[in-house]
Structure 1
Amino acid sequence: MKRLVQLILLLFVIFNSAYAQINIKGRILDKADDKPLTNASIILLNRDSVLRYFNRANEEGKFQVKNIKPGSYIILATYPKFELYSDTIQIADKDLDLHDIKINSQRNVLQEVIVTRRLPITLKGDTIEYDAASFATEKNAKLEDLLRRLPGFTVTGDGSITAQGKSVQKVFIDGEEFFGYDPKIAIRNVRADAVDKVQLYEKKSEEAELSGIDDGVRIQTVNVVLKEKARKGVFGNMEALAGSKGLYAGNLFAAKFNKTERIGITGSHNNMGSSSGREGSLRMNNQITGEPLNTNLGANYENQFFKKASKVNANYGYDNNSNKNHSETYNKNVLPDQSIQEKNSKNDSERHSRSNGFRSNLNMRLDSTQNMELQSNANWATNANLTYTDSKTGDGSGNPISDFRENNQSNSSSSNNNFRLNYRKRLKAGRSLNVMVGNNHKESDSESKVNSRTYFYKTGDSTIINQTRHGRNKGNDFNSSINFNNRISDYINLALGYSFNHSKSTNTQNSINNITQKFDSLYSQNQIDNNTNQGVNVHFSYRKEKLEINFSNRTFYKNQQLNDSYRSIDLARNFWDNNLNVDANYRLSNSKNIRLAYQSSNIIPSFDQLQPLQPQTNPLFQQVGNPDLKRAVNNNISANYNAFSLLKGTNININGNLSFVNNPIVNKTTILDNSAQISSYENLSGKSNWNGGLNINHMQPLANRRINFNKSANVRFNNSYSYTKFEGGQSGGEFLLNNAKNTNFSLGSSLNEQDSEGFDFDLSANAGFNVQQNSINTQYNATSFQGGTSAYIKYFLPKKFNVMANIYYSYTGPTKLYKKSINQFYTNIELEKKVLKDESMTLSLKAFDLFNTFNNTRRNASDTNYSESVQQVLTQYFLVGVKWDFNKYLGKGND
């Protein structure tokens, strides 16, 4: 830890000494009368028209811009109702005095500068738009590299995106999905120099967009707008990796864009455990779990036909993956009478899976008033699994309670096919009609051979299971809706709708005793579910200038039936259900926005929770339903505030939410003295499960916008209830109600400088604490500390050599349940060499977990239950690789 801190401090010293402290000064005057122009803006752009420095003139019209890095710049001087002054200046190794700059409204200026001066960030309604040209990236950089440089964005090593504190679920290219089954393919392969703008917004759910009825669901979405010249060309990359311990990987991506037509293919084959071409990514911990072998192929096609009246988007994915692994788990359970049960488990597994998936979307404009969209998906998969489990349970004094050993060999196949047809007709006076019909059909077959033995030390009894279990599942879901939208005025819209859904599924499992060849009903089921839902919905919206209000309500009548002939179970119920959504969005200014939302919905008990008798899986666990369960009511309140300042380059985003469930359905667990558990459910009257949180992110530039300084604060609260009973304990077999309260608070900050000159760095640190409280066994209530730091550094050497390092450290403090902290530390380094005239080929040498310090321990704690696990992991290894980026015409010549 001490060496890591010293390294980070050394990097700061090197960075601060790497730039000369050069200043420029001058004075802005009105050319007509030489009067000073107070608060005039002084902007310095680099040769790529990226904003680098900014300041304002004082009352005397004087200005000074400090700490400028030597180079060539475009200087802009602006003042309201005056001309835009523009000139090119050269910053050498000494201060520069520009003396008097006189401007008026009549002077001719460089038109091309006016055109290329674009705002780095703009707010359009509830959409934040980033100008890609304002954020420099390396040559041949990808979209994920660009996203890392946008304020408010973070991209993890595995390609997961977080923007303004929320996880991004959708990524579009020019408004369309590109390899929709895996959006990470787009961000890892689309070139950064092909991007014109990046738009961030909260997208409504697909159902809400089609029906016009707002369901309150919001999906954090990124839309990437390509440059016009980048919509035609061929681009892609090929990569090969080989390493120590027999490791290898090969990746291919190629795409052809021809205006409206887009064709893409992707493929990878490796024994490193990644299924999406991210083997050898320095930002990932990249520890290889088990003995994986993966083959993945994909294809994507998009085009428009009939003078853009029809659009088609289709993609195909193939996966063939396997893995062998070994894991060990320790579990400690503190019982209501303060006694302890400890379990040690070992698990060996081998799995093989193969799948084919096809997705398509056809959008047709029938005429000027009619649109039709057809979506279809199909998936076929096979799985083969072999597992061996050996677990031993004892009390806190080391006395054995039970032993469990099981061999399970299973094979399964499944298919899933669905379609949805949407029709929209625009009527007169702003009215429209929406009709939707869809169907989803799925089937699966399985066979598993189970051989297990459970021994109970207290009684000396053994339970032996030697079975073959044949499973057959089949289901069909039909859904439809019709919605009428009426534009009452320029600001008010009203929508009314009706929906009808019907689903039927069968779930059959026949278990045969392999010794007696007799049917075992205890481990079998023959279940039929039949559900019909129909309801009406209403949506009201008001939109005027800065204010937008949405109100929607859905009321359903549901008829549900469950039958299991093996257990003589016949459940039926009819009830009303209601969902309410209200949200308001107010634009305080062009750079400030606030949104408030409220949702109310019912949590309906599932038939699994209601069914009193369910098939067992093993003698140590039995699930029992409660047919008397009632619905629970969930309420959620959320708020978001976003503001940015173009001139200061700052951005702040605040997210808050509170969710509470009245009459919650809680777990009810009985723990037997032989370590077996029986789990059920119960409504808890007069109590509420609730959780809430607040997330604050703030970004500001430092050192004249060379460095981005990000700060964050997070707090999460959780309050929940559960029942526990220990038969044979001092509580006398009574259920005890536990109230678990958890509070987590953390602070984080990061510094990053990425201008692809000299060296780039991305430094981050976080620290926080977690408070765990329970109303029973209060002696284990504790506060634990957690924190960490990471440093990603890239140094640009002469002769097109680059060296990168990723250093990571984290600390998880001890608790009263387990008095041992977990320290995680690893270092990855890479040396790369750019070759060829256009630097399109990269040779690399990589080392992962250089000091072999990776900690394989994983910890999980909830209420008074604690577990730690380790598994087979390859940590330290080395790779050599070659990667070629090819690009024909795409984006070339486009500034």
Structure 2
Amino acid sequence: MKKLLLLLLLTVCYHVTFAQQSGRIAIRGSIIDTSKAILPGATVMLLTPKDSALVNYGRTNDKGIFEFRNVKRAPYILKVSYVGFLPLQVEVNPDNGEVVDLGTLAIKPIQKELLEIVVKTARAPLSIRGDTIEYNAASFKVPPGSTVEELLRKLPGMQVDQDGNIKAQGENVTKMTVDGKTFFGSDPKLATKNLPAEAISKVQVFNDKTEASKTTGIDDGKREKTVNLELKESHRKGGFGKVTAGIGTKDRYQLRGNYNRFNTKEQMSVIGFANNINQTGLSFDDYQDFRGSQSFNWNDQGDFGFNGGGYIVFGDDNGIGVPISGGSSNRGFSKNYAGGGNYNYDTKNTKLSSNYFFNQTGQTFDTDLTKQTSLLNGAFRTEEKSFRNTLGNNHRASARFEQNLDSLNTLVVVGNFRANNGNERLGSTQNFFQEDGKGPPSSQTTLNNQNKYTGIQLATTAIYRHKFHKKGRNFAASLSYNINDTDGSGNQQSNSRYFTDTTAGGTSQIRLNQDNVTNSLRTELKSSLDYIEPLSKTMSWETFYNFSLRTDKVDRDVFDRTDQGMVRNVSLSRYYTNDFTYNRIGTSVRYNNKGLTLSGGLAGMWFHQAGKFAADQTGSPFTSVGRNFFSFVPNATAYYNMKNKRVNLNYNVDVRQPSTSDLQPVIDNSNPRFIREGNPDLLPQLTHRLSGGFGVFDPGSFVNVYFNLNYGYNINQIVYNQTINSLLVTTTRPVNIDGGTNVGSYFNFGFPLKKTKATLNMYTSINLGKNPTFINNVPNNTTNNNYNAGVSLDLTPSEKFTLYPNFNWNFTDTRYSVNTAQNLKIYNYRYGADMNIQMPAGIFFNARMNYQIYKNPRFGFTQQLPILNLSFYKLFLKDKKAEVRVTAYDIFNKNQGITQSSYQNIVQTEQVQTLAQYFMLSFSYNVRGLKSQMRRNNGF
């Protein structure tokens, strides 16, 4: 409540500050052309006469009328722009009245001979053309050396959170291009965090068609929020980049650089970094590399048909998690080295996009974990202290080649190659307590495990598209081949002691010392066909066929280390093969007219599994696994996109095939107190999904509202049943259960309190999940209800001072059907703020505060972490090319990685020691000169 009052106080103070300024007026008028026709939707802006800074903006209504209310009484320049017309500029000098009526203003159409002059001189801060908003980057001032991320924060209607995720007009930005070309794959952060703001001429925000729509040539009504960065002419003709080097206390260091060279046909970029300050800089693809990606992660765009292209989803295998964010990780300690290059070539008929990226990440985790597991008539508690050291090397290369063979035929070839290797060492001590938790532990297990892995993945896809002479008639065919070859080896040692009679000091113990070697090979051949026939100008009929043949081979050998030497453990060793044949044929009809898209379709899916397993390759007899699965799959969608409004409604059925690890009849005893076992009899999981939402964005006022609601019901849901014996050893096995449900909603409301000066954004989400499972063969329903709400406020009263407070509240309510005494509630709060001040003598000051609160009343856990970072920096040399910065990280020395979570019948709190207080001196040099202006700096 105190924090909420603080937010309200900040808002009130801000309004009071502006209200105290002398006099407020309204400015109004109407816009027509020279033939006296009204011009609705014309962009109207108020600029300051001194430097043409944007004060206010809007659009004319259906009658061509505009009005600016409650603006400061001062001279202005009023600028009007409209596509195909000369910009109009009018001086506004308010008199003593409260309303300045400019009357009717006429603008002239552009003559061809004046077009070039207009393009060069009509540089308004922003312009709106249909659903495209174009920002003139020069009108929004950022500090020298800022990245594109900092520029985006300044633009009206744009939001960038602390992790670098971008929203435009209330929607997530999923695609970012530079001069219309991709930049290092599909992760927008690689562009925003590495390109300098001073290289950008314009920022264009629009709704682009999906890749599936472009492939088939039929508009499916779906849109991807896209940002295109248009470079300055000077940066298209030569190279530009930036290098940063820093050294700090506690042997901390960082080195980061990038170089870019673009022209009208080619783009070339290189980036690299090295540090031990937890800045991993990984994209999502790099994260998947580390885990050992499968072909289905790679978005090859070769699966046709409804449901967004690819239909069946193969479950993801577990692996070692690493941070995804390009910012600083709040878990453990890491050393990071990475580098890569990106090359694009684009002409009328030929397009080539390619990149290579390497990263090495070494991480150390020192963790305290408290976990409580609910039983039918009680619970037990686990307290664990562990140390984990990981090292991973990842190579990623990808290329996409598109060739227009002629006006009707196009060939696309996509290739992805990934190679990774790494090792992990884990040491752990686990103490187990009975429910009351009093006295010494009832048992204790120590672990000392080591693992190594190597993997190679290759995915190739060829797509052929043919357009017939009849407009709208299209044919497409694809062929893909994917391979994933992974080898792993490890040694696991454990000692479990059970204190059966603590008064007499009697104990029993079980020791384990084993080596294991696992070879896993997956190959997949896929093909799809797609034919679209136009039924009329507004209707089309699509027919598609998908085929996939996947083969898995797993050879796992486990050996016990004994006094007599290495002895093969027959019960834990397995040789396993599995063949999956998948066919889907379907048809759909789509109606598309004036922004409204309706579609409905039905597909039949047949899935065949044929597998066998034994203790080894020569084992006799083999146990066979064979099954067929057939299902009709419906799909219905409705989209409406018109005049910055969008409404969507969708019903579909997702089919999720069990992951390889879940199907393998292999016992994983790497943690002898938590044993995992596969189930070759698993069926695919079907999820019926119904979702809908709407969004409204007013490009004149920049008010945006977005709401989404979704519901899912699971059939044959894959859940992990638990069997817990009297020694508190848990064995999990995946099975199929019906009845799991999930309801989720999201609401976002953003609006400017004062245009160009203050913007308020509020959001909330609710997720209600109900998941069944079995605990010791007794059914249990776990209900997880999560409630989240947040507020962010952008205050930019001047270029010399900015303040960005943000607040987030998260509450999770977990309930169990078989043991209600174990119900609990978890609270996570975060309060933060960023502040920037331009000081005399070209010195800048930046502060970032993050105050995090974690509460679990049932376990008596409360943790408060005030994290404060401060920095001073100064620009020097010609054109301010150089920067020297002094930064203090975590002033109060409180940083710690804390995670609270609940799932199935388990609730846990994890605390990881992580990088805390240190100081750093850094130097940066920009290849090109920059002008010194104040803007938010996000240097942490």
- Report the TM range for the smaller structure's normalisation: 0.7 to 0.9
TM-score when normalising by structure 1? 0.86
1:372 aligns with 2:426: no
Judge conservation of contact 1:45–1:74 (CA < 8 Å) in 2. Answer: yes
1:776 aligns with 2:818: yes
What is the CA deviation profile of residues 126-145 of structure 1, one whole-angstrom value per residue up to 9, with x for unaligned ones? xx645355972415432212
2:770 corresponds in structure 1 to: 719
**Which amino acid in structure 2 is aligned with residue 592 of structure 1?**
K
CA distance 1:84–1:103, shift in 2 (3 Å): farther
Equivalents in 1 of 2:271, 2:236: separation in Å?
A: 19
**Which amino acid in structure 2 is aligned with residue 821 of structure 1?**
T
1:849 corresponds in structure 2 to: 890
What is the CA deviation profile of residues 567-588 of structure 1, one whole-angstrom value per residue up to 9, with x for unaligned ones? 832101122244433221113x
1:519 corresponds in structure 2 to: 568
How far is 1:781 from its partner?
2.9
1:242 aligns with 2:283: no
Structure 2 matches for 1:717-796, cutoff 5 A?
Answer: 717-725=768-776, 735-754=777-796, 757-767=799-809, 769-796=811-838
Equivalents in 1 of 2:84, 2:489: separation in Å?
A: 78
1:68 aligns with 2:87: no
2:376 corresponds in structure 1 to: 336
How far is 1:511 from its partner?
1.6
Judge conservation of contact 1:766–1:788 (CA < 8 Å) in 2. Answer: yes
What is the CA deviation profile of residues 404-444 of structure 1, one whole-angstrom value per residue up to 9, with x for unaligned ones? 22222222222112211111122120222212111112222
Q: Which of 533, 542, 558 is the equivalent residue of 2:582?
A: 533
Q: Which of 243, 249, 272 is the equivalent residue of 1:267?
A: 272
How far is 1:147 from its partner?
2.8
How far is 1:756 from its partner?
5.9
1:312 aligns with 2:313: no
CA distance 1:25–1:5, shift in 2 (3 Å): closer
Equivalents in 2 of 1:867, 1:569: separation in Å?
A: 39
CA distance 1:27–1:199, shift in 2 (3 Å): closer
Q: What SS does structure 2 have at the residue aligned with 1:292?
A: strand
Q: What SS does structure 1 have at the residue aligned with 2:856?
A: coil
Judge conservation of contact 2:896–2:913 (CA < 8 Å) in 1. Answer: no
What is the CA deviation profile of residues 43-75 of structure 1, one whole-angstrom value per residue up to 9, with x for unaligned ones? 41246766423589999x9988545387x7422
Q: What SS does structure 1 have at the residue aligned with 2:653?
A: strand
How far is 1:298 from its partner?
0.6
**Which amino acid in structure 1 is aligned with residue 46 of structure 2?**
L
Q: What SS does structure 1 have at the residue aligned with 2:911?
A: strand
Equivalents in 2 of 1:601, 1:108: separation in Å?
A: 53
CA distance 1:46–1:654, shift in 2 (3 Å): farther
2:627 corresponds in structure 1 to: 573
Structure 2 matches for 1:612-651, cutoff 5 A?
Answer: 614=667, 616-625=669-678, 629-651=682-704
**Which amino acid in structure 1 is aligned with residue 891 of structure 2?**
L
Judge conservation of contact 1:626–1:680 (CA < 8 Å) in 2. Answer: yes
Q: What SS does structure 1 have at the residue aligned with 2:151?
A: helix
Q: Which of 344, 347, 351 is the equivalent residue of 2:386?
A: 347
How far is 1:296 from its partner?
0.6
Judge conservation of contact 2:363–2:389 (CA < 8 Å) in 1. Answer: yes
2:203 corresponds in structure 1 to: 197
Judge conservation of contact 2:890–2:916 (CA < 8 Å) in 1. Answer: yes
Structure 2 matches for 1:672-711, cutoff 5 A?
Answer: 672-685=725-738, 688-711=739-762
How far is 1:709 from its partner?
1.5
Q: What SS does structure 2 have at the residue aligned with 1:400?
A: coil
**Which amino acid in structure 1 is aligned with residue 368 of structure 2?**
E
* Structure 1: stretches of 5+ with no match in the other structure: 32-36, 726-734, 891-895
What is the CA deviation profile of residues 85-108 of structure 1, one whole-angstrom value per residue up to 9, with x for unaligned ones? 6324589xx979997745464999
Structure 2 matches for 1:163-562, cutoff 5 A?
Answer: 168-180=173-185, 183-193=188-198, 194-201=200-207, 204=210, 209-210=214-215, 221-226=226-231, 231-276=236-281, 286=328, 289-304=331-346, 308-338=348-378, 340-395=379-434, 396-430=437-471, 431-458=473-500, 460-515=507-562, 516-562=565-611
2:845 corresponds in structure 1 to: 803
How far is 1:520 from its partner?
0.9
Judge conservation of contact 1:233–1:887 (CA < 8 Å) in 2. Answer: no
1:664 corresponds in structure 2 to: 717
CA distance 1:624–1:166, shift in 2 (3 Å): farther
How far is 1:268 from its partner?
0.7
Aligned length: 859
CA distance 1:106–1:722, shift in 2 (3 Å): closer
1:136 corresponds in structure 2 to: 140
1:53 aligns with 2:59: no
CA distance 1:203–1:745, shift in 2 (3 Å): farther
**Which amino acid in structure 2 is aligned with residue 466 of structure 1?**
N
What is the CA deviation profile of residues 357-389 of structure 1, one whole-angstrom value per residue up to 9, with x for unaligned ones? 211111111112111111112122221222222
Equivalents in 1 of 2:237, 2:557: separation in Å?
A: 57
How far is 1:552 from its partner?
4.2
Larger mean CA deviation between 293-302 and 465-474 belongs to 465-474
CA distance 1:22–1:90, shift in 2 (3 Å): same
CA distance 1:550–1:123, shift in 2 (3 Å): farther
Equivalents in 2 of 1:613, 1:846: separation in Å?
A: 51
Equivalents in 2 of 1:170, 1:38: separation in Å?
A: 33
CA distance 1:639–1:129, shift in 2 (3 Å): farther
Equivalents in 2 of 1:104, 1:121: separation in Å?
A: 19
Sequence identity (%): 23
Judge conservation of contact 1:67–1:703 (CA < 8 Å) in 2. Answer: no
Q: What SS does structure 2 have at the residue aligned with 1:511?
A: strand
**Which amino acid in structure 2 is aligned with residue 328 of structure 1?**
D
Equivalents in 2 of 1:489, 1:605: separation in Å?
A: 42
Q: Which of 893, 900, 915 is the equivalent residue of 1:874?
A: 915
**Which amino acid in structure 2 is aligned with residue 773 of structure 1?**
R
Q: Which of 42, 46, 55 is the equivalent residue of 1:44?
A: 46
How far is 1:604 from its partner?
4.2
Structure 2 matches for 1:56-135, cutoff 5 A?
Answer: 66-68=70-72, 73-76=76-79, 86-88=89-91, 101=102, 103=104, 105=106, 112=118, 115-116=122-123, 120=127, 124=131, 129-133=133-137
How far is 1:322 from its partner?
1.7
Equivalents in 2 of 1:511, 1:393: separation in Å?
A: 28
How far is 1:874 from its partner?
2.5
CA distance 1:308–1:386, shift in 2 (3 Å): same
2:309 corresponds in structure 1 to: none
CA distance 1:680–1:242, shift in 2 (3 Å): same
How far is 1:41 from its partner?
9.9
* Structure 2: stretches of 5+ with no match in the other structure: 33-37, 284-324, 502-506, 932-940
Over aligned residue pairs, what C-alpha RMSD do you find?
4.1
Q: What SS does structure 2 have at the residue aligned with 1:838?
A: helix
Judge conservation of contact 2:542–2:588 (CA < 8 Å) in 1. Answer: yes
Equivalents in 1 of 2:668, 2:27: separation in Å?
A: 83
Equivalents in 1 of 2:262, 2:807: separation in Å?
A: 41
Q: Which of 861, 867, 879 is the equivalent residue of 1:826?
A: 867
Q: What SS does structure 2 have at the residue aligned with 1:429?
A: coil
How far is 1:256 from its partner?
0.4
CA distance 1:747–1:152, shift in 2 (3 Å): farther
Equivalents in 2 of 1:570, 1:216: separation in Å?
A: 46
CA distance 1:765–1:56, shift in 2 (3 Å): same
